[in-house]
Amino acid sequence: MKWHMQIALAGALALLGGCAGQTPLAGRGDAPPPAAAFTLSPGDKVKVATYGEVSLTGDFEVSPGGTIAFPLIGEVKAAGMQPDQLSKAIETQLREGYLLEPKVSVQVASFRPVYILGEVNKPGEYPYTQGLTIRGAVAKADGFTYRANEKRVFLKRTGEPGERAYPLTADFAVLPGDTIRFGERYF
């Protein structure tokens, strides 16, 4: 009986030893896309606070045309801007005949959703959260199906003409509005 325990213990240690120290496989193909500074796009919602002016404070959605409709000054271009750039643009326009020294703060209230498609258990539209990675997207979609190709991911960024394939060997950032597709593996 004692030798059975020794064999079982040796087998368990061998299995655990095989798992320790595994390193990711070297990627092939393009490097993951960089997580550029976040810029506003249609579908994002922003909270604009104009200090001392309650009527000029509120939540605004970036329209399909890339603008927000702001009181007094009308349409303000928002698409392609970072939140701090938008606050400066609103301050500049308010300074032109409306307020003497406007102080405006812009924060993102909610981001555009991400779309996770293909060989995952629950494909669909998911809310974006800051710090989301490709592996986090897989977890949001309840993991891979048994047919999933776990070595490659297809990614389409907002504004790009089509999707590109990347090795699934490293975690890289997902941005708001990204479409992520996991293909089927072939034997």
* pLDDT one-digit tens code per residue, 77-89: 999 999 999 999 9
Reported as a single tens digit per residue, the pLDDT across 138-174 is 999 999 999 999 999 999 988 788 899 998 876 788 9
Cβ-count burial 20-33 (b if 16+ within 10 Å, e if not): eeeeeeeeeeeebb
CA nearest to 139, candidates 156, 158, 114, 110: 114
